[in-house]
Amino acid sequence: MPESLANGLSRPRVRFAPSPTGFLHVGSARTFIFNWLYARHHGGSMILRLDDTDVERNTQASVDSIFDGLKWLNLGWDEEYKQSERIELHRKTAWTIFEKGLAYRDFTPAHTGEAEKSGAQGTWLFNPGARELSAAESDRRAAAGEPFALRFRVPREGGQLIRFADAVYGEQMKAAADIEDFALLRSDGMPTYHLASCADDADLRISHIIRGQDHLTNTFKHVLIFEAAGFTPPQFAHLPLLVAPDGTKLSKRRHGPVVSVTTYRDAGFLSEAFINFLCLLGWSPKNDRENMSLQELTDLFSLEGINRSNAVVNFKEPATTPEETFDPKAVWLNAEHIRGLPVEELSARLLPIVQGEGFDVSPEKMLRITPLIRERIKLLRDVLTTADFFFVDQLPPYDPAELIPQKGDAAMASKVLTRAREVLANVEFKHDPLDHALRAAAQELGVKAGQMFQPIRVAVCGRKNAPPLFETLEVLGRETTLARIEQALQKAGVVVG
């Protein structure tokens, strides 16, 4: 009687099993997130298993990239394993299958011999003679030290169908006769991906395997392994692929760093906005909402909401601005999440970015700046271009013509700045006193308020497009404000006595 992997538990056990052969791909991150949401929605367990048995391709840099990306997502997991520490379990599973007569030794040297190619599309199925070798002959050659691979004996008679139900793609079936006798152990004794994955899933009591659609065809082999090892297969759910605008599968070689999770982190995405965005690639809640908190995603998530169609990540190739590197919906969601953050939390996230660029900004000053720019930034790193004038001692060069107000001239700009210098030398640097004093000065000069404010804004910020003027002046302070107005007067050609 096969043993159920769910083990009678009502709470699911799911796993994310990356191979450390590259960076953390956005598709892998989405797989992790969907597993995490499913586990948390049902009060189950999230397991991280590093599938690191491919020693030739594994790198420490890849391990670091995976953990860097997962750490940034800040979701966490309940249990952690390394597949390389479980080799004996894998081998034991393989020999259990062998002892049942469901696997055999194949002594055929690699890339030699006549292969049986009677599968669909003429695919390789097995090496003739290897399946029929007697147990005694197999044991004798193995005892003599002849190398062999251990292969699964796929049933080839009786028209057997391999079936499984997929939570996303529905009932799946394939003729067993079209599946090759895949290896369980290589000739060096190391387990293959198929064996190690299934042995670990069985041992760790994984109840639901939620992974990319590119694993769908592997699942027929996995069903055979689970059943041969004496386990009822877990439930399967395969996720639609993430593709580029041209329909090709996202890959670093073709599409560059946009497919790496840390690219989003380094560009200034909030992890919670990135999670929100990835969830909308291939899944949607019943109410079609888009902007959702992590708790809302957890409450709403279900396998039934996953789509079968591949999900397009809409970025421009080539991108002409940093923003075009990313899907516009990702950027929009990030801006929405930024606006939803408490000022104190947003300030705490912006401060390391500003200080990382070498600016000596105190937490107190950053907290005063943050509400002025919160509505004006889409990515966290936008703080460096939106609020740069708060951080620098000297403004970068700007066009003096920017000082000239609408429907005004250079003389009006000079007149406004001269009066502003006088008023701002004495007024209290708080919003209301600044507002009243500068509006009164505009009336005295016979100019509109906008014509009064624009030269001052350009003088202190270096541009017209900037946060609200009085709040900006309050943060900059009297000394910086007067020094910048002095420099603006010189730009405007006024000789200061």
Q: Which residue positions in the chain have pLDDT lower than 50?
A: 1-8, 111-117, 494-497
Output the pLDDT for position 113.
42
- Cis ω before 109 (30° cut-off from 0): no
The residue annotated as part of the active site, out of 82, 249, 252, 329, is 252
Output the pLDDT for position 494.
43
Dist CA 201 CA 10 (whole Å): 17
Structure-block tokens of residue 456: 């001052």
State residue 423 phi and psi, 5-degree precision.
Answer: -65, -45
User: Residue 189 gets which letter from DSSP?
Assistant: S
Contacts of 161 (CB under 8 A, 6+ apart): 173, 174, 175, 176
Annotated catalytic residue 252: yes
What pTM value is reported for the model?
0.91
Is beta strand 45-50 parallel, antiparallel or unpaired with respect to 79-82?
A: parallel
Output the pLDDT for position 9.
54
Output the pLDDT for position 10.
75
Output the pLDDT for position 496.
37
Output the pLDDT for position 254.
82
Dist CA 408 CA 134 (whole Å): 100
